[in-house]
Amino acid sequence: MTTRTAPRKGSRKSTLVQLRRVLSVLAWLRAHPDASLMTTADRFGVSVPQLTEELTRVQESGLPGLLPGSLVDLTVTGPRVTLNDTFGLDRPLALTEAEADSLELNLEKLASILADEEQADADTAATRLRSLVTSGEDSSDVAPVQPANPGATVLASLRRAVASRQWVRFRYLSVSSDSLTTRELIPDQASVLDGVGYLWGRTDADQTAADQRCFAVTRMDTVEILDRPAPAALPREIDAEDPFRFRTAEQWAELELTEEAMWMLEYLPVWHIDGTRVEIPDTGAWLERFILAHAPEITAVVPDTLAERVGQRSAAALAAYRRLA
């Protein structure tokens, strides 16, 4: 017999449990306006003080801006709760047409990286999503979601190559060198991280997992599965916190960012030091171009040798512009 334990207070699971309960309580109170706090608390398995606290917190919710008249309005008087204006929170949640469109776009992005056998799930979700839209359109006339780009075919091909142990060939746009080259690889692993497909592979059978290179599916073109047997795969252990092993880099740099640039911590391989100081692996040319591209948001660079490299690259770019002028 399995014993379920209550979610830890303050955890994400605990917050979701509270949210579901509050929404259910509001709907219950709308359907049972004469129900007392004690009856309602007993109905949902919580104490009266906890229910009162959660209902009090609901009154801090509302429409964007949280101006007077835009907050959830309910009154707790003695043992009774009166719902004045809940902005629809006491009714089943429904998507607006704009929200449904946004979700459908995300489904298309997801479908673009799914293997062939997995796309049926995305199509089913999209069909179900359209059936929930209350726009008055006949959802049966809408075609299933199809990948908006060839990413699905690319990732599916790479996964087949990994499974069948065959070499692959593809053209690849390198961000670090800003060049388009043709690569032939032993495919070891094809995975999806944060919605983007990646291939890890080697150029030689004698290489080890440490020699694997990583390639983004979105920058691949003309992928072919070659009639050339590949050796056994070397699966890669992926650390969710550092999937590309930036932390093992030998050279590092420190950047001082503006407050407006702190978004980089969420999307780029940078680690917070303190205040607005961050550290980032010094990958060479890529970091130099990165600093130039975000120069207005970077106020200081350490070490000085990196600042000199960026200055030289900037001078070379200005010289090229002058020659073209």
- Domain end position, chosen among 195, 229, 263: 229
Residue 147 lies in a domain: no
Which pLDDT score, from 0 to 100, does residue 94 have? 61
Give the mean pLDDT of 96-110.
Answer: 67
314 and 284 both lie in a single domain = yes
Q: Is the pLDDT of residue 143 over 50?
A: no
Please report, for the domain that includes residue 24, its CATH number: 1.10.10.10
272 and 317 both lie in a single domain = yes
20 and 79 both lie in a single domain = yes
Residue 159 lies in a domain: no
* Confidence band for 99, pLDDT divided at 50, 70 and 90: low
250 and 320 both lie in a single domain = yes
Which string of b and e fits 172-206 if b means at least 16 CB within 10 Å? Answer: beeeeeeeeeebebbbbbbbeeeeebbbbbbeeee
Residue 236 lies in a domain: no
By C-alpha distance, which of 145, 63, 136, 128 is closest to 97? Answer: 136
* Confidence band for 10, pLDDT divided at 50, 70 and 90: very low
Q: Is 111 buried (19+), middle (13-18) or exposed (0-12) by CB count in 10 A?
A: buried
Number of domains in the chain: 4
By C-alpha distance, which of 165, 164, 173, 242 is closest to 202? Answer: 165
61 and 109 both lie in a single domain = no
Domain with 183, as residue range(s), is: 165-229
* Confidence band for 310, pLDDT divided at 50, 70 and 90: very high
* Confidence band for 239, pLDDT divided at 50, 70 and 90: low
Query: Cβ contacts of residue 12 below 8 Å, gap of 6+?
Result: none
103 and 34 both lie in a single domain = no
Amino acid found at 289: R
Residue 238 lies in a domain: no
Could you tell me the pTM of the whole model? 0.45
Q: Is the pLDDT of residue 129 over 80?
A: no
Residue 151 lies in a domain: no
* Confidence band for 226, pLDDT divided at 50, 70 and 90: very high
C-alpha distance from residue 11 to each of 16, 70, 163, 209 (Å):
9, 28, 39, 37
Residue 130 lies in a domain: yes
pLDDT in tens, 17-56: 777 788 888 888 888 888 888 888 888 888 787 788 788 7
Two structure tokens written together for 313? 């690259």
By C-alpha distance, which of 113, 107, 34, 43 is closest to 77? Answer: 34
Q: Is the peptide bond before 33 cis (omega within 30 degrees of 0)?
A: no
255 and 312 both lie in a single domain = yes
Which pLDDT score, from 0 to 100, does residue 135 have? 45
Residue 296 lies in a domain: yes
Residue 3 lies in a domain: no
Query: Integer distance in angstroms from the first to the last C-alpha of the chain?
Result: 79
